[in-house]
Amino acid sequence: MAETLKLDIANACLWQGSVAIPLTPKAMAVVEYLVANAGAIATKEALLDTVWANEDVSEYALTSIIRDLRRALGDSTKNPRYIQTVHRRGYRWIAESVVADTAALPVESAVVIETKAFETEALPAIEGSATQFFTGRGEELTTLRHHLQLAATGKRQLLFLTGEAGIGKTTLLEKFSDQIESQPNASFALGQCIEKYGAGEAYRPVLEALNRFCHTTKGQKFISVLEQYAPSWLVQMPPLLTPEQLHRLQAQVSDLSAQGTAPKSRWLRELAEALEVITREHVLVLVLEDLHWSDSSTIELLDTLARRKELARLLELASYRPAEVNGSNHPLKHTKQELQLHNLCEEIPLTALNQQAIEDYLLHRFSSQFSSQTTTKTAIISTAAAEIYQRTEGNPLYVVNVVEALAERKLDSPGEEYLNPPKLLLNIVPNN
């Protein structure tokens, strides 16, 4: 049975017994919505419209917050106690009771980080069977693991994950982030660029990533590091501070500006030094999605971090669509060329799935129906995969949508263009 929770709306915190679970503003909004609609399905569309109103973000922003909440609560997708996934529709809050109570809550003790000497120890190898259920991207996942190991030895890394819309960049990042979280001395900080008009907010995805990271158990120690080394950044994240801390930092940053320090150079130096401190004992993966929508300041920051010579257990991992960068004057185009010239970055291009990957996906998607393989069933799957590949050209998003439509029998009607190959599949998946 799920433990009674105390939802402290005023302080943006969720209490599980005596354990405080500080929440980002977005995570708090998600919890409030779920709790207010407890027992009912909160659709993905409703959550995105409510929490990310007027922001153009992908579903990954929502699934990432749900995943963070589950980890913090010790919840699971298979046997949920708090948040239940409703396949392809949304989520449902199933905890028996959530009590909003801001009185008599325990006071969280201060967190102090100890600075240790840098040791070049690699992370333990990532174990598990992820590639068995991650069709067609085993090689790319292995490459990401390799660079994570390099980062763990103090060799900072910068990777660009590229590909067209729907090619699976977000899915690969999500799978990789799950594996990172299984490591005790590694974490990821996720920020997402949004489509905008005009210049946009400087460093927006980086501030989002840091804010979310500092609200995690692993990231809470980073707050004191930011306060000491990067006050200009921390003052931009009020939810992490008490009113007294915020007032003090605002005065401190104002004094720095009065001294004539150039704001841009100070911001770059501050965060670079803060990240080098936190990564002395901890591997950090800074994930920035949809860099084709990024502001120029964020691109400059990535460039600065990649060029520094100091040891850091840091992996910068950024995704973007090449078509929206290469054919324009986007600042990323020139920056990436310069970094590649000096061997300071690498690219992992994602291409379409091949027919074999689609066959593997079909076998996994309908594993219960194919528990005992026969030559006939194998032939049926191969034929269906070939037709699906021809229709979708191997685009993962299209492949998944077509297969899910098959599973729900949405395409089982006379005269349907896709009828023949799906019919073969539906013959052995009659009631899925």
Q: Which CATH number characterizes residue 311's domain? A: 3.40.50.300
Q: Which domain holds residue 56?
A: 5-100
For residues 224 and 311, membership in a common domain is answered with: yes
Counting every residue, how long is the chain? Answer: 432
Among all chains, which residue has been given the structure tokens 């030895």?
153
For residues 176 and 252, membership in a common domain is answered with: yes
Write the DSSP assignment of 262-289 as a string of letters.
-HHHHHHHHHHHHHHHHTTSSEEEEEEE
For residues 299 and 388, membership in a common domain is answered with: no
Q: Is residue 120 part of a domain?
A: no
Structure tokens at 285: 């993966």
pLDDT in tens, 253-305: 887 776 655 577 889 999 999 999 999 888 999 999 999 999 899 999 999 99
Pick the more confident residue, 134 or 219: 219
Is residue 22 scored above 50 in pLDDT? yes
Q: Is residue 248 part of a domain?
A: yes
Is residue 116 scored above 80 in pLDDT? no
Most confident of 90-94, 258-262, 300-304, 390-394: 300-304
CATH code assigned at 89: 1.10.10.10
Pick the more confident residue, 409 or 367: 367
The domain total for the chain is: 3
Structure tokens at 48: 């995105």
* pLDDT, position 114: 34
Distance from C-alpha of 328 to C-alpha of 315, rounded to nearest angstrom: 27
Is residue 424 scored above 50 in pLDDT? no
DSSP-based three-state secondary structure for 92: strand
**Residue 180: count of CB within 10 angstroms of its CB:** 20
* pLDDT grade for 182, boundaries at 50, 70 and 90: confident
What single-letter DSSP state applies at residue 346?
E
Q: Is pTM, for the whole model, over 0.85?
A: no
For residues 337 and 363, membership in a common domain is answered with: no
Task: Compute the mean pLDDT over every residue in the chain, rounded to the nearest whole number.
Answer: 78
Distance from C-alpha of 191 to C-alpha of 288, rounded to nearest angstrom: 5
Q: Is residue 119 part of a domain?
A: no
% of the chain exceeding 70 in pLDDT: 78
% of the chain exceeding 90 in pLDDT: 25
Distance from C-alpha of 360 to C-alpha of 356, rounded to nearest angstrom: 6
pLDDT in tens, 58-74: 777 788 788 878 877 87
For residues 231 and 148, membership in a common domain is answered with: yes
Structure tokens at 101: 């109570």
Amino acid, single-letter form, for residue 427: N
DSSP-based three-state secondary structure for 5: strand
Q: Spell out the SS3 assignment of 153-171.
A: CCCCEEEEEECCCCCCHHH
For residues 277 and 196, membership in a common domain is answered with: yes
Q: Is residue 179 part of a domain?
A: yes
Q: How far is CA 313 from CA 318, 336, 384, in A?
A: 16, 21, 45
Is residue 18 scored above 50 in pLDDT? yes
